[in-house]
Amino acid sequence: MAYKIPLFNLNFDEKEANAAAETIKSGWISTGPKCAELEEMFIRMFNVKYAVSVSNCTDSLHLCCLVCGIGPGDEVICPSLTFAASANCIRYVGATPVFADIVGPEHINIDPLDIERKITPKTKAIVVVHMAGFPAKMDAIMAIAKKYNLKVIEDACHGPLSEYKGKKLGTIGDCAAFSFFSNKNISTGEGGMFITNNQQLADRARLLRSHGMTTMSYQRASGHATSYDIVELGYNFRLDDIRASIAIEQLNKLPGDLEKRAQVRKKYIELLSEVANVTVPFADNNEFVSNYIMPIVVTKSDIKRDDIRNKIHEAGIQTSVHYPPIHRFSIYKNYGAVLPVTDYVSDHEITLPMYAKLSNEDIEFIVNVVDKAVNEYTAVRRNFTIK
């Protein structure tokens, strides 16, 4: 079924097509000058010292765990209300994810109080996810990290250019990962970035990204090196120049796109504030954020979220759920996590459409449909007929 209002709208025009075509015509399509240009852009725009382009955010998170020295026997605290990659990366290096609960329906990020409760002598790091692009409680998390000498990895996949007390998300912990998957704020199909302010971490990430090799093909092709050594057991986590050239165009558009998304969210909040039994997480946030997605949480516990979603879909509006929690997946069930707030939110969350081109009429239509589905119009809204 084609939805009248999709969840997400790819922000592509001829700029991305032309950029990809130019790179193809240039004769250099793998990791090269476009990846380097993209890394420089990240350094400038995110106010960070080092950026290493990678094949996706999952690989970037894997690199974060490797360069933070996490390994077998270590425990890493992470949320469960996130995509599986935020926990899988911990297992890739032989460590154990320990799931912490989230704060509540109004703040669906990891709860610093539960982080502290979950610390053991084996705890080595915390993976923080900034859900929907809204900052986790970083002051409290960094204070815990300092107190117990833990590394902090930011899964900033949802939050490019989002800010926390004036700092860009991804620049507060030890290192961070971004995604360029199709539905992200920066879309290239697949792709990602590793960033850090620590030179040692950046050097090691760059080495491990490409088989632990001391030089790259582009350096050799351009005469800057003639040979290479392999000094560590590395991976192929490289981005290619075709995607990097698309990412450059996406990054150029990003600030303008985020300004428009902020207007979309403002309208949503204004209208949803009149709808009973619905909470908008992070409604009190007033810092600049990416607005990657538009989550709402139904606060009437006896309501079946999936019935509401079906009614919304019948009106031609696509929705999603962020997320089915990781601790309930088959491969994580035996970790024994008890996370009542995560369970509640996950069972009552609905992600509404979010993209810059949503008009006020679209948002009004969506909110009416939500109100009808949840409450049979407690807000008795406008002269709308929803078939």
Ligand X SMILES: Cc1ncc(COP(=O)(O)O)c(C=O)c1O
Q: Which is nearer to ligand X, 173 or 372 (CB)?
A: 173
- Pick the piece of the chain touching ligand X (CB under 6 A) from 4-12, 52-60, 112-120, 223-231: 52-60
Report if residue 374 touches ligand X, rule: CB under 6 A. no
323 versus 365: smaller Cβ distance to ligand X: 323
**351 touches ligand X (CB under 6 A):** no
Report the DSSP pairing between strands 151-155 and 123-129: parallel
**16 versus 371: smaller Cβ distance to ligand X:** 16
d(CA 255, CA 222): 34
Please choose, out of 39-47, 54-62, 100-108, 247-255, the segment that lies near ligand X by the rule CB under 6 A.
Answer: 54-62
Is 169 within 8 Å of 185 (Cβ atoms)? no
> Is 57 an interacting residue with respect to ligand X (CB under 6 A)?
yes
Q: How far is the CB of 81 from ligand X (least distance, A)?
A: 10
Binding mask 76-95 for ligand X (x = CB under 6 A): ------xx-xx---------
Q: Does 285 bind ligand X (CB under 6 A)?
A: no
Q: How far is the CB of 192 from ligand X (least distance, A)?
A: 5
* Beta pairing class for 349-352 and 278-279: unpaired
Taking the complex as a whole, the smallest distance from the CB of residue 265 to ligand X amounts, in Å, to 18
Q: What binding mask, one character per residue, do residues 157-196 give for ligand X by CB under 6 A, x or -?
A: xx--------------------x-x----------x----
* 155: contact with ligand X by CB under 6 A: yes
Binding positions for ligand X, rule: CB under 6 A: 56-58, 82-83, 85-86, 129, 155, 157-158, 179, 181, 192
